[in-house]
């Protein structure tokens, strides 16, 4: 019997959206055929903004998390050692106890839950997990590195530079984005290089650096999801719509103000685009997922124009609501998507570490440490 842990929340600007995704996933897995048949045990693992972990009811509602851990949340610790993982700390009369989580369903958006740091800890703890490896997660979160990879592979990408440090591409306007982040948080459109520099200096979301590229008012968003198990499959293509026509970009409110995360965001689905454009989008998305070593359910975001131009924008390695709303043609049930995610994680276990060659030879021949400092 597999023991599943659904991890959501985390110390990230996208904490609240992660809670919505995690609760949806926990509720769906609770009703899945595998769990109903006694094939799995489920733990809902809430990662608070403070960085602490708690076990919470899998049936909890979003309002319970507005002020932090809900009433009755049980403190946990994540111990990055084999055989421990998520543990209930020792009490006055009880010993430390491991929850025995075998597979973690990672529902964290942004920050350390999506950029590889959580994945690295799970690797050290010997817990299999959904989504990309630690290295691929880090790559997907870095807009500069990811854009450079796509460009080097010959994929269409708008000129992208780093601030502070590089010269901006052209006279403006520009779109300024956090190098590490997503969901439109911290993204601004500015008219010139001076304003871009001021924004980078002032914004907490840009403290780790910003990527800047030309802002094209003629371009619109197109998104597609790719899942990698039991075989590579591509979803319908969506064209996200803005709730406010005056907005220059697809904002955080456009995506999430509907109350259910990305599910309730306005969209044209399937997008009304030419067949040849749809074919190009699907082909590039599949190639990009393979190139970056991604797995699980990934959403690839593009920019397109009515003139037929197409550019890779970014990748979302843990998309909101696991992009369940995109699987309409052919239709795939949410429980099927999740069961396949778990099956993939179990079949592709966490990283193993090799110590072959560390046989003590160098230590025996080393002499004193003091002699090496002279």
* Strand partners of residue 78: 86
Confidence at residue 348, expressed as pLDDT on a 0 to 100 scale: 87
DSSP state of 323: G
Q: Where among 182, 215, 248 does a domain terminate?
A: 215
Q: In this structure, are 239 and 99 located in the same domain?
A: no
Q: Could you tell me which of 288, 20, 340 has the C-alpha nearest to residue 157?
A: 288
Q: In this structure, are 142 and 278 located in the same domain?
A: yes
Q: How many CA atoms lie within 13 A of 357 on its CB side?
A: 2
In a domain, 362, yes or no: no
The total number of residues written for the chain in this structure: 374
Q: In this structure, are 234 and 279 located in the same domain?
A: yes
Q: In this structure, are 184 and 234 located in the same domain?
A: no
Question: Considering just the CA atoms, what is the radius of gyration of the chain in Å?
Answer: 22
φ and ψ of 243, to 5 deg: -70, -30
CATH of the domain at 119: 3.40.50.20
User: In this structure, what is the dihedral angle of CA atoms 55, 60, 61, 65, given to the nearest 10 degrees?
Assistant: -20
Confidence at residue 257, expressed as pLDDT on a 0 to 100 scale: 55
DSSP 235-276: EEEEEE--SSTT-SS--HHHHHTTTBTBTTS-EESS----HH
In a domain, 339, yes or no: no
Confidence at residue 367, expressed as pLDDT on a 0 to 100 scale: 87
Boundaries of domain holding 300: 132-155+218-331
φ and ψ of 225, to 5 deg: -105, 150
Confidence at residue 181, expressed as pLDDT on a 0 to 100 scale: 82
What whole-number distance in Å separates Cα of residue 240 and Cα of residue 301?
10
Q: In this structure, are 13 and 93 located in the same domain?
A: yes
CB 341 within 8 A of CB 331: no
Confidence at residue 2, expressed as pLDDT on a 0 to 100 scale: 85
In a domain, 176, yes or no: yes
User: In this structure, what is the dihedral angle of CA atoms 49, 296, 135, 137, given to the nearest 10 degrees?
Assistant: -40
Say how many domains are in the chain.
3
CATH of the domain at 172: 3.30.1490.20
Confidence at residue 94, expressed as pLDDT on a 0 to 100 scale: 86
CB 74 within 8 A of CB 88: yes
Strand 2-9 to strand 103-106: parallel, antiparallel, or no bridges (unpaired)?
parallel
Q: Which structure tokens are listed for 355?
A: 């110590």
Please report, in tens digits, the pLDDT of each residue of the chain (374 residues total): 789 999 999 999 999 999 999 999 999 999 875 565 566 799 999 999 999 999 999 999 999 999 999 998 999 999 999 989 999 998 888 899 999 999 999 999 999 999 999 999 999 999 999 999 999 999 999 999 999 999 999 999 999 999 998 988 788 899 999 999 876 788 999 999 999 999 999 999 998 899 999 999 999 999 999 999 999 999 999 999 975 555 566 555 555 555 555 666 788 999 999 999 999 999 999 999 999 999 999 999 999 999 999 999 999 999 999 999 999 988 999 999 999 999 999 998 778 889 999 999 999 999 899 888 87
Residues 6 or more apart whose CB falls under 8 angstroms from that of 194 comprise none
In a domain, 357, yes or no: no
Residues 6 or more apart whose CB falls under 8 angstroms from that of 293 comprise 132, 133, 135, 136, 139
Q: In this structure, are 241 and 305 located in the same domain?
A: yes
In a domain, 293, yes or no: yes
Phi-psi region of 237 (alpha: psi -120 to 50; beta: other; left: phi over 0): beta
Q: In this structure, are 139 and 264 located in the same domain?
A: yes
Q: Where among 200, 215, 230 does a domain terminate?
A: 215
Q: Could you tell me which of 165, 182, 162 has the C-alpha nearest to residue 174?
A: 162
Could you tell me the CA-to-CA distances from 64 to 20, 23, 76, 220, 253 in Å, in that order?
A: 11, 11, 18, 36, 21
Q: Which structure tokens are listed for 144?
A: 């500069």
Q: In this structure, are 192 and 150 located in the same domain?
A: no
In a domain, 124, yes or no: yes
Q: In this structure, are 150 and 290 located in the same domain?
A: yes
Q: In this structure, are 87 and 196 located in the same domain?
A: no
Q: In this structure, are 222 and 211 located in the same domain?
A: no
């Amino acid at each position: 019997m597999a023991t599943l842990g659904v991890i959501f929340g985390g110390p990230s600007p996208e904490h609240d959206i992660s809670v919505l995704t995690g609760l949806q996933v926990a509720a769906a897995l609770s009703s899945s055929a595998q769990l109903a048949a006694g094939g799995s045990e489920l733990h809902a693992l809430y990662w608070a903004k403070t960085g602490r972990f708690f076990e919470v009811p899998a049936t909890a509602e979003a309002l319970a998390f507005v002020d932090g851990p809900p009433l009755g949340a049980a403190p946990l610790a994540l111990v990055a050692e084999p055989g421990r993982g998520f543990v209930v700390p020792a009490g006055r009369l009880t010993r430390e106890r491991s929850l025995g989580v075998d597979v973690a369903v990672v529902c964290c958006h942004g920050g350390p839950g999506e950029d590889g740091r959580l994945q690295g800890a799970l690797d050290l703890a010997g817990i299999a997990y959904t989504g990309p490896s630690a290295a691929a997660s880090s790559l997907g979160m870095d807009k500069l590195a990811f854009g450079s990879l796509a460009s080097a592979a010959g994929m269409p990408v708008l000129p992208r530079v780093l601030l502070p440090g590089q010269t901006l591409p052209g006279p403006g306007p520009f779109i300024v984005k956090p190098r590490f982040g997503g969901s439109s948080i911290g993204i601004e459109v500015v008219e010139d290089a001076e304003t871009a520099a001021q924004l980078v200096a002032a914004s907490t979301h840009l403290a780790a650096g910003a990527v800047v590229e030309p802002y094209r008012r003629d371009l619109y968003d197109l998104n597609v999801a790719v899942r990698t198990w039991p075989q590579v499959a591509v979803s319908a293509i969506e064209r996200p719509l803005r709730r406010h026509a005056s907005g220059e970009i697809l904002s955080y409110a456009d995506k999430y103000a509907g109350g259910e995360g990305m599910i309730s965001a306005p969209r044209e689905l399937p997008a009304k685009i030419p067949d040849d454009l749809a074919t190009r989008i699907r082909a590039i998305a599949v190639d990009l997922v393979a190139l970056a070593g991604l797995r699980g359910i990934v959403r690839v975001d593009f920019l397109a124009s009515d003139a037929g131009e197409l550019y890779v924008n970014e990748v979302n390695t843990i998309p909101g609501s696991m992009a369940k709303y995109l699987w309409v043609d052919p239709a795939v049930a949410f429980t099927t998507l999740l069961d396949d995610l778990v099956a993939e994680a179990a079949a592709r276990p966490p990283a193993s570490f090799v110590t072959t060659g560390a046989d003590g030879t160098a230590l025996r021949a080393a002499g004193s440490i003091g002699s090496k400092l002279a």
